[in-house]
Structure 1
């Protein structure tokens, strides 16, 4: 009598993606539609696309009446990108939540790369590659590549594909939904509100994921690539310096919200290695070298201002009434 054939172990169920696009202004409605159009063809039958409208009833109505293939929801939290993203996470039912900016479009097969990367159970999050799509066709001559983060895009000094990173760039990131639920999502104390150029909510998320899931990794995946629209208004020197200053203030808030030494670890390495070498690299382009130096100065000034403000606020709270 022959022995029965061994039973094959059951295959892992297919990964379900929930793509979340957060938007807040009708000025970008065509870009939101482009983001949706780049996503829908890449969705499998079990995936879902959620568009979160941040406290704009007119935009919600316009998208609800014209968009096919996406669920249009209103943000149920406080105004701002962090609240909108948390609404998206609360609405999502997938295994992995993919976040896409409202002015970014997925490259072909980008979501296939997400599925492939998350087949590894040790991966808790990934950050994609973010290529700038300059409205004017090219970056300003004075703009240093080391400061691509000012416009929400890749910058010189980012790790290679597959390397572990502290946190992703918000325009293209993906995180396991259960992990986001565990850490409470994104902090309402950080993140952009309308046109106010704050940030660092992704950094705090990355730190929280590392603390809660020390045996997992967040990695960079350059095949998960998006094209990020950069409007002309974000190419002025005024915007550049304002964004640097507010990033510094956000870093001060980040440092106040976490006690871990990793809060500013990447920034210290970036300043010591990338910015110093950047000055030499741009030595034959004085405008770029000056922009790099002033960008660092304004970011530092924002950090100092934010640190002092936070300490004064803490002192007022501790003072007996």
Structure 2
């Protein structure tokens, strides 16, 4: 697919990540083969829009044409590309050499509608000894239980994702109104993967060799954050199930609960009993606490749906278009 061209879209929303954004753009531009286009999409932040347009070279800078939120922001960026394959990269991530080529390779198979790569957490402060590998998703990282070689999966993550344009367009992209806004997180990337597969009969591939680094701020290393993130994940997955095929759309989560997490608890307890350190007991306890928090979030969402967060169609933008072409 490199000959046909691949674009990279980088959504952003806060000036606090200006340096990381510049690094993300540079890492995308350094890919070989180079992307046909790099688009930076800014989510309702005029100061950041001006910074990106005046500072970042060789990129197209656009303003989110939808209501505030990462789903519409990504859709805006994709709309300003023209290649058959579009890769998505978070604004605080760093793409390793070979990332774009790795994500592009699966598209040689016409049945593939999307791909995703490995996300390596980079801890800004020491990683807590109790933090289990099976819950690295809580800080946006690839976790134990994911494939270790290129393999078909149900879904990948939008921090490091590539999509086939016609399949993306067939479902109108990310579901606007269902995603990350403020401190509320919903699995808009998993929702997209499910809808694209259903609409086209296509498949998603996970490519662990296509790696990005993704920072984990110190604020995300606390027990409070961990439990809150698990709680919101439980809520979000129930919402996603309502919007798709109910229980069938959550098969991967049930397998994770039945297989991966019990093994993690067993390893932790066994290690603690063999005198291999209290960290093993801490990780086992964290897995159990995370499961309980997610279950509580799911139960709350089941009993009391978040009507205010009901998604809206993604067809019509909410604002005019602002585009800054590459310098």
What TM-score comes out, normalization by structure 2 length? Answer: 0.87
Aligned to 2:161: 173
When residues 42 and 176 of structure 1 are mapped into structure 2, their CA distance, relative to the original with a 3 A threshold, is same
1:122 aligns with 2:111: yes
| Structure 2, unpaired ranges of 5+ | 273-279, 309-327
Q: Distance in 1 between matches of 2:34 and 2:99?
A: 17
Local SS of the residue matching 1:15: coil
Local SS of the residue matching 2:229: helix
Cα deviations across residues 190-219 of structure 1 (Å, max 9, x unaligned)? 21114x1402111111111121111x3211
Aligned to 1:14: 3
Greater Rg by CA: 1
Shift of 1:259: 2.5
1:280 aligns with 2:266: yes
Shift of 1:46: 6.5
Aligned to 2:323: none
Aligned to 1:140: 128
Aligned to 2:231, which of 225, 228, 245?
245
When residues 46 and 110 of structure 1 are mapped into structure 2, their CA distance, relative to the original with a 3 A threshold, is closer
Q: In the alignment, is the contact (CA less than 8 A) between 2:154 and 2:194 conserved in 1? A: yes
CA RMSD after TM alignment:
1.9
Cα deviations across residues 119-146 of structure 1 (Å, max 9, x unaligned)? 222211111111111112x421111111
What TM-score comes out, normalization by structure 1 length? Answer: 0.89
Q: In the alignment, is the contact (CA less than 8 A) between 1:50 and 1:88 conserved in 2? A: yes
1:71 aligns with 2:24: no
Local SS of the residue matching 2:214: strand
Shift of 1:91: 1.4
When residues 268 and 57 of structure 1 are mapped into structure 2, their CA distance, relative to the original with a 3 A threshold, is same
Local SS of the residue matching 1:164: strand
Shift of 1:44: 4.8
More contact order relative to length (CA 8 Å, sep ≥ 6): 2
Q: Distance in 2 between matches of 1:242 and 1:203?
A: 20
Local SS of the residue matching 1:282: helix
Aligned to 1:56: 45
Aligned to 2:297: 302
Q: Distance in 1 between matches of 2:52 and 2:117?
A: 26
Q: In the alignment, is the contact (CA less than 8 A) between 1:152 and 1:170 conserved in 2? A: no
